[in-house]
A and B are shown apart, each in its own frame.
Chain A
């Protein structure tokens, strides 16, 4: 099962390598990891998606908490908004261009760039919806994909702080 962890860390040199080192050392596999400055500039929020079971997630949470630069670890539940940004460059010619633009529209994606032979689609959505988009675009020939990994926050009033 996939779990999403929201990890608030102090913005210190080496904190990312401490965290990624912990994952490889303890044999946890990262699905995705996204980092950025959090609500105060001395803190970053790292959103990590991992595949595992309850035991593994509990271990992970505890081990992360032991790192001195980790301020707070929260395993997010379903009551969460999670988004990923994907840029997908797909082959497009005069015959297929319109279809592809249609697909982008239906999936609430944007056209970020267009050239004689390609279209680059920008999609901010849940990981599942991005997967769907990729599936729809596959037949046209995908040239490149860049994805940010998931960022997530709890819905409403609760705050992982």
Chain B
């Protein structure tokens, strides 16, 4: 005899899951009990949203789906922001929620919430399991759907009686049988041929690389293609880290907060090759201006992205990796005319300017650049949302490390829980968080999770006593009326660290930056570095 909860655990084992992030409650107790008796590690977060973010950080760091678990009602609804974030960022996570007894569904009993209904817009698929015998098929399908095609979250809602009911035996299906879900990954040879022709006839091509390049695991293929052809590369925020930041062909991040070189290049190019990037409005506000001058090749696993935001000359629906491999094999001797690469280099050089400094404060951009020199190879930097994110995106120099942030949803409070997931996934790597004082106050409850699990995570809080990015918008568009962006009554973050038993330091001058970073990185275990930054510091 095996009960539903044990079946769920067996399913996770079959899928190679070794860790879940979650928060308990009555309706999910059978499952956590079964997990307790299993080799799978259950990590208690301090709020359900963070369980989803941790699962996302985990998934992004190991290219396996992350799993988060919550109870029914408020536990489940707390997950939603995390699920929606993973959806917008195309990260494969499996969210498992407890639900009230199946015969009580629809009667508004205690802690009942229609979570499959509520999550409808934010999941690739969801299941409300009505029968214990369905569990193996549902789990098999869920993992398949989350990880194939364009990755994304899948929700499994399991009423408590379905977790408790027993079956004689457990059997996991070998294959999925979904007549309606067959994501196409094969690229069309004709389209590849057209793309190659277009590339060969181009004089001012650029590549725009997005998160899809990372999720399809073709970072190196793309770098090789760029080097071979000398086509310059820009990235979206989700694509940061594909190209080494110092690479001569790298133009930096595209978009409203990106580099001038990248933004100018996409407007003057005669060919734009979009690779796993959906050119959202923050990356390219005026796609029509670009397409007036440039032809567009768009490679994306999700056909619905092609032509959605930008008209396309050569659509390539399929796996980016496959397309780039074809490009590498079939491009021949083509090289970008030197005049184009030289022009771009000169724009890049013109971008280099000394950041403005404010007396008595740390300058965050040069600090972030220095930080990138100090962390070990393959470090994972997790940036939150706001100015701190832009400082990192533009100044953290990556060679072989990872840059994690939420580019699609921009959910404040992402960084600390995502870093927890990343650290569990990659325990031997440096994991460093950079967040704002606003975003830190949205997620510092997770310091407890860090301490409870002895996680070596370094957290840097950019203390500018403002919701900086919104403050900046107010300065430009709202006559500097700082409505609800002044973070007064700012707590003493060092005392907070102290309360959790985490060592900390305070940094307010560029001269002390190197020592402070050394102290932080040389301290064993978690560390909080509070950086005093001027409220006036701009994002760019």
Query: Which A residues lie at the B interface, using CB under 8 A?
Result: 9-10, 13-14, 17-18, 21, 25, 55, 58-59, 62-63, 65-71
**Nearest B residue to A70, CB-CB:** B180
B304 touches A68 (CB 8 A): no
Q: B-side interface residues toward A, CB under 8 Å?
A: 116-117, 120-121, 124-125, 128, 145, 178-181, 302-304, 307-308
Q: For the complex formed, measure the closest distance between the CB of A134 and the CB atoms of chain B, giving whole angstroms.
A: 36
B304–A62 CB distance below 8 A: yes
Cβ–Cβ contact A10 & B120, under 8 A:
no
Distance A106 CA – B188 CA, assembled complex (angstroms): 54
Can you report 15 residue pairs joining A to B where beta carbons are below 8 Å apart? A10-B179, A13-B128, A14-B116, A17-B117, A21-B121, A25-B121, A55-B307, A58-B307, A59-B308, A62-B303, A62-B304, A65-B304, A66-B304, A68-B145, A71-B180
Chain A residues near B117 (CB, 8 Å)? 14, 17
Once bound together, how far apart are the Cα atoms of A67 and B180, in whole Å? 8
CA distance A44 to B180 in the complex (A): 13
CA distance A14 to B128 in the complex (A): 10
Chain B residues with CB under 8 A of A65: 303-304
Q: Considering the complex of A and B, which 4 residue pairs feature the smallest CB-CB distances, nearest first? A: A62-B304, A68-B125, A71-B180, A68-B181
Asked if A71 and B304 make an inter-chain contact with CB atoms under 8 angstroms apart, the answer reads no
**Chain A residues near B181 (CB, 8 Å)?**
68
Contacts of A71 in B (CB 8 A): 179-180
B528 → chain A closest CB, angstroms: 40
Of chain A, the residue at the smallest CB distance from B307 is A58
Q: Are A66 and B180 in contact (CB under 8 A)?
A: no
Query: What residue of chain A has the Cβ atom nearest to residue B149's Cβ?
Result: A66
Contact B180 A17 (CB under 8 A): no
Q: Which residues of B contact A68 (CB under 8 A)?
A: 124-125, 145, 178, 180-181
Residue on B with the closest CB to A58?
A: B307
Taken together as a complex, chains A and B put the C-alpha atoms of A67 and B121 apart, in Å, by 11
| Inter-chain contacts of B124 with A (CB < 8 A) | 66, 68
Q: Knowing that A14-B128, A59-B308 touch, tell me 20 more A-B residue pairs with CB under 8 angstroms.
A: A9-B180, A10-B179, A10-B180, A13-B128, A14-B117, A17-B117, A55-B307, A59-B304, A62-B303, A65-B303, A65-B304, A66-B124, A67-B180, A68-B124, A68-B145, A68-B178, A68-B180, A70-B180, A71-B179, A71-B180
Q: How far is the CB of B312 from chain A (nearest CB, A)?
A: 11
Q: What residue in chain B is nearest A18 (Cβ atoms)?
A: B120
Distance from B275 Cβ to chain A, minimum over Cβ atoms (Å): 19
Bound complex: CA of A63 vs CA of B307, how far in Å? Answer: 12
Q: Least Cβ distance of A29 to chain B in Å? A: 18
A67 to B145, CA, bound (A): 11
Chain A residues contacting B308 (CB-CB under 8 Å) are: 59, 62
Scoring B124, B128, B179, B180 by chain A CB atoms within 10 A of each residue's CB, the highest score goes to B180
Report Cα–Cα, A62/B121, bound state, in Å.
Answer: 15
Give chain A nearest CB distance to B143 CB in angstroms. Answer: 13
B304 in complex: contacting residue of A63, A69, A70, CB < 8 Å: A63
Residues of B near A14 (CB, < 8 A) are 116-117, 128
Cα distance A9–B180 in the bound complex, in angstroms? 8
In the assembled complex, the Cα of A13 lies from the Cα of B116 at a distance in Å of: 11
User: Which partner residue on chain B sits nearest A61 by CB separation?
Assistant: B304
Distance in Å: Cβ of A62 to nearest Cβ of chain B: 4
Residues of A within 8 A of B303 (CB): 62, 65
Chain A residues whose C-beta falls within 8 Å of the C-beta of B304 in the assembled complex:
59, 62-63, 65-66
Pair B302/A66 contact, Cβ less than 8 Å: yes
Residue of A nearest to B311 (CB): A55
Contact A69 B121 (CB under 8 A): no
Q: A69 contacts which chain B residues (CB < 8 A)? A: 180
Closest to A8 in B: B180
Which residues of the partner chain B approach A59 to less than 8 Å between Cβ atoms? 304, 308
Complex alpha-carbon distance, A30 and B417, angstroms = 41
**Which chain B residue has the least Cβ–Cβ distance from A69?**
B180
CA distance A71 to B307 in the complex (A): 22
Please give, as numbers and ranges, the residues of chain A lying within 8 Å of B121 by CB-CB distance: 21, 25
Q: A59 vs B121: C-alpha distance in the bound complex, in angstroms? A: 16
Of B124, B128, B304, chain A has the most CB atoms within 10 Å of the CB of B304
Most buried by B among A10, A14, A66: A66
Instruction: Give chain A residues whose Cβ lies under 8 Å from the Cβ of B116.
Output: 14
In the docked arrangement, what's the CA distance between A79 and B183, Å?
A: 29
Interface centre among B116, B128, B178, B179 (most CB of A within 10 A): B179
Residues of A within 8 A of B307 (CB): 55, 58
List the A side residues contacting B145 at CB < 8 Å.
68
Q: In the docked arrangement, what's the CA distance between A55 and B307, Å?
A: 9
Smallest CB gap from B303: residue in A: A62
**Residues of chain A within 8 A of B125, CB atoms compared:** 68
Q: In the complex, what's the smallest C-beta–C-beta distance from B144 to chain A, in angstroms? A: 10
Q: Please name all residues of chain A whose beta carbon is closer than 8 Å to the beta carbon of B302 when the two chains form the complex.
A: 66
The answer to whether B120 and A21 have CB atoms under 8 Å apart is yes
The CA of A68 and the CA of B55, in the complex, are separated in Å by 23
> Shortest CB–CB separation between residue B31 and chain A, in angstroms?
22
A58 to B120, CA, bound (A): 22
Of A18, A59, A63, most B-chain CB atoms within 10 Å: A18
Contacts of A55 in B (CB 8 A): 307
Contact partner of A17 (CB less than 8 A), chosen from B120, B128, B178, B179, is B120
Docked CA distance A18–B125 (Å) = 10
Once bound together, how far apart are the Cα atoms of A70 and B125, in whole Å?
A: 12
Kindly state the separation between the CA atoms of A69 and B120 in the bound complex, as whole angstroms: 13
Residues on A with C-beta less than 8 A from B178 are 68
Q: Which residues does chain B contribute within 8 Å of A18, judged by CB atoms? A: 120
